[in-house]
Structure 1
């Protein structure tokens, strides 16, 4: 946690704490005080809001004095207030202990008095420090990311930006780029096969939404793709096609054989040599954004699959995609093993039976 900049003033009845916390989240703010202890907690996240006029980003807290009229000395001594001296005690300097305190008790006993230091984030840095370690516009900032490291999480991928020189960052990013994704021939083929059902799921959703996205797009992609929903690994392209076609006829709102065949043809066209790598990268990038905002933890599919697919598709050999295109074969209704032909035959017979039944008027009486 960051110790915010603050000051204290007083009148005859109140102590007034002025705490600068421009990034605090109001809903998580907690204030406690009692005896000679005052505690303020507000995780330092940036909160943007609109108000009728400008705000200062400061909390003003009034704490009533126990003795009205009493004067508190040394309120301008911030260091003393943050780390008060221990009270003088007549307790023996050396004591015989008959039990060992639990680690938890030792850890929690002094939580309120952990050492604090006020850090002025707005303060300027020396030219030498920013020249070697700076970041931000014109590399003139330093000390900000280090203080917010626990709160911002993975906003910046560089693990220790405060102690990593500008020259070292260029070396690290070059090494990261050179690492790439190294797969064996069998792994390359398996990864390409999984791309079939992922692209099909995207093509199906695009078909039913006129190539736009909807609130159900994330669900459709995750549900239709066996690679995402069942973490499958395929041995052949036909196996992948059959699995995703079966799911397209069972799970979504629109279940139609012709619609699924259109999505399959779209998938073949996308993977074709004419479009290939560029089209696939565009689709994967769009899918990445969809899964981020889809909810229900679907953003994890980006970490598991989509992000690496975006990197892989840029470096994969063109022959892998060409082989994949030739392997995607047409499927028949019998291949899906859903008894589709029998169900269609029963439906046709039921329709013929209805058509053969004479229509009776209200005045007609059925023959006995």
Structure 2
């Protein structure tokens, strides 16, 4: 049977269900809803999902009379309409508690998940389900209060559990033996080798060692003084920077949610904390790739997201939010094309904005990652099987306040340069010193050029003086009277010229002397180096 495309909406009194079924047999359509269950059946379609509130009971069969818009009234205003030109069933369902708001109507995969009561009825008789996902509001609030986290506190350490196949890994640490079976495919995807033989502590130690070896001083310093591209990337406005950013799912995203596997997870408080930290780690990698590509993802996007995420690349489990953010920043300074401290810090702000957009927007990001991995090749779909698919299903069950509280906690996280252990603060100070020395060297070179120009000018002036003296001697021989007059005036003018020349010469000598002193000083500093 096929699951039709559907959409749910509501007002204070009614729940509205729109079901698109272009190949349905209207005369054989059946719709049934009771308590929290809703069922739609019309060959070849079948739809069943669980609701978060209580709705009134109504069962009827849609006949061929509903080929045109019509109403079937029972117990009030309940009705179903068949909109023929759109091939859509429009069902109007009254709420028992008028004014009650049903949460999570856009969490399609969760709605399609079979409830625990139904599973118990179909499986082993005599087993009572004492607690389900859909308990009353008072119980739900009590459980949520008990599960509030202090995101900034290191609350747990990893377990030392092993399976017969070795160490666990993947979403909620529920996988083992996958790497042993698919060693060739996974070798080019992740950095870790033989994870079944390594504990979480061993993976972390090995990751730190490889990151330290891979960090490049030259690459970091080159990007540090890059004045064009990186400032532009930091200033770029992305979709989550705008107020009108949509959190509604597109038709393509709804189709993906509808086709996700229907699962329910038994996750304790310890593991839930690890999963949320892994979510932050993966979102950081996704936000980095989105910013540097401005949302224009490429075949390299899958590599970048995988490489920047310690969760995906090293099967890491984090114990605190501070540890998670430090790991993200470290890898952003080791592997991608742009390695800049300000850019890495900007990505943290991007993650905060994504979390503030709420559960639906976070889920949209993971759906995009799922598509990127499927389209990037290199068997990266395996990471979807190990992590992303389960995240897409599980995120729909996380309470909405988790994301807002996590965003507030992330705002309080401060990462210092010495925490990443790459000595980048020392590198930056050294680079500034070198730049200042280079500037002094350039200034000295300019002084040398000026000195050379002054010497040339001085030589030209001496040449002009010699030629003028020869001309004056010739003129003296032509006329004796003019010679006497010239002899009486010449000393005065010559004295003036000689005095001015001596002044110019003294000025030039002083300038020349200062330049020479600077040049000698520069040469002495070079010899000291």
- TM norm structure 1: 0.51
1:280 paired residue number: 362
Of 373, 380, 390 in structure 2, the residue corresponding to residue 308 of structure 1 is: 390
Is residue 263 from structure 1 mapped to residue 347 from structure 2 by the alignment?
A: yes
Equivalent position SS for 1:271: helix
Q: 2 CA distance for matches of 1:268 and 1:338?
A: 25
**1:174, CA displacement in angstroms?**
3.5
Cα pair 1:199 1:267 within 8 Å, conserved: yes
Q: Which ranges of structure 1 fall in alignment gaps of 5 or more residues?
A: 1-135, 140-164
Q: 2 CA distance for matches of 1:351 and 1:168?
A: 71
Q: Which ranges of structure 2 fall in alignment gaps of 5 or more residues?
A: 1-21, 26-42, 50-111, 120-260, 453-515, 524-529
**What root-mean-square deviation, in Å, do the aligned CA atoms of Structure 1 and Structure 2 show?**
3.0
Is residue 349 from structure 1 mapped to residue 289 from structure 2 by the alignment?
A: no
Cα pair 2:24 2:44 within 8 Å, conserved: no
1:11-160 aligned at under 5 Å gives the runs none
Q: 1 CA distance for matches of 2:276 and 2:435?
A: 44
Q: 1 CA distance for matches of 2:273 and 2:113?
A: 28
Equivalent position SS for 2:288: helix
**1:338, CA displacement in angstroms?**
1.1
1:197 paired residue number: 281
**1:335, CA displacement in angstroms?**
1.5
1:233-244 aligned at under 5 Å gives the runs 233-244=317-328
Cα pair 1:276 1:321 within 8 Å, conserved: yes
Cα pair 1:197 1:241 within 8 Å, conserved: yes
Post-superposition CA distance 1:101-134 (Å, at most 9, x none):
xxxxxxxxxxxxxxxxxxxxxxxxxxxxxxxxxx
Q: 1 CA distance for matches of 2:328 and 2:388?
A: 18
Q: 1 CA distance for matches of 2:113 and 2:401?
A: 29
Is residue 359 from structure 1 mapped to residue 439 from structure 2 by the alignment?
A: no
**1:300, CA displacement in angstroms?**
0.8
Of 367, 377, 382 in structure 2, the residue corresponding to residue 295 of structure 1 is: 377
**1:294, CA displacement in angstroms?**
1.0
1:162-173 aligned at under 5 Å gives the runs none
**1:313, CA displacement in angstroms?**
1.0
Q: 1 CA distance for matches of 2:423 and 2:272?
A: 34
**1:325, CA displacement in angstroms?**
2.2
Is residue 184 from structure 1 mapped to residue 124 from structure 2 by the alignment?
A: no
Is residue 340 from structure 1 mapped to residue 424 from structure 2 by the alignment?
A: yes
Q: 2 CA distance for matches of 1:188 and 1:234?
A: 11
Cα pair 2:301 2:372 within 8 Å, conserved: yes
**1:318, CA displacement in angstroms?**
2.6
2:335 paired residue number: 251
Of 395, 404, 416 in structure 2, the residue corresponding to residue 322 of structure 1 is: 404
1:174 paired residue number: 114
* Larger deviation, residues 173-182 vs 214-223: 173-182
Q: 1 CA distance for matches of 2:430 and 2:113?
A: 63
With over 3 angstroms needed to count, the CA separation of the structure-2 counterparts of 1:253 and 1:178, relative to structure 1, is closer
2:292 paired residue number: 208
Equivalent position SS for 2:312: helix
With over 3 angstroms needed to count, the CA separation of the structure-2 counterparts of 1:215 and 1:179, relative to structure 1, is closer
**1:138, CA displacement in angstroms?**
5.7
With over 3 angstroms needed to count, the CA separation of the structure-2 counterparts of 1:319 and 1:308, relative to structure 1, is same
**How many residues matched?**
206
Q: 2 CA distance for matches of 1:185 and 1:322?
A: 18
Q: 1 or 2, which has the higher helix percentage?
A: 2
**1:299, CA displacement in angstroms?**
1.1
2:497 paired residue number: none
Q: 1 CA distance for matches of 2:419 and 2:337?
A: 22
2:61 paired residue number: none
Cα pair 1:238 1:327 within 8 Å, conserved: no
Q: 1 CA distance for matches of 2:333 and 2:45?
A: 55
Q: 2 CA distance for matches of 1:244 and 1:250?
A: 10
Cα pair 2:358 2:403 within 8 Å, conserved: yes
Equivalent position SS for 1:174: coil
Q: 2 CA distance for matches of 1:222 and 1:310?
A: 17
**1:355, CA displacement in angstroms?**
0.7
Equivalent position SS for 2:328: helix
Q: 2 CA distance for matches of 1:277 and 1:355?
A: 52
1:84 paired residue number: none
Q: 2 CA distance for matches of 1:286 and 1:178?
A: 19
Q: 1 CA distance for matches of 2:348 and 2:314?
A: 20
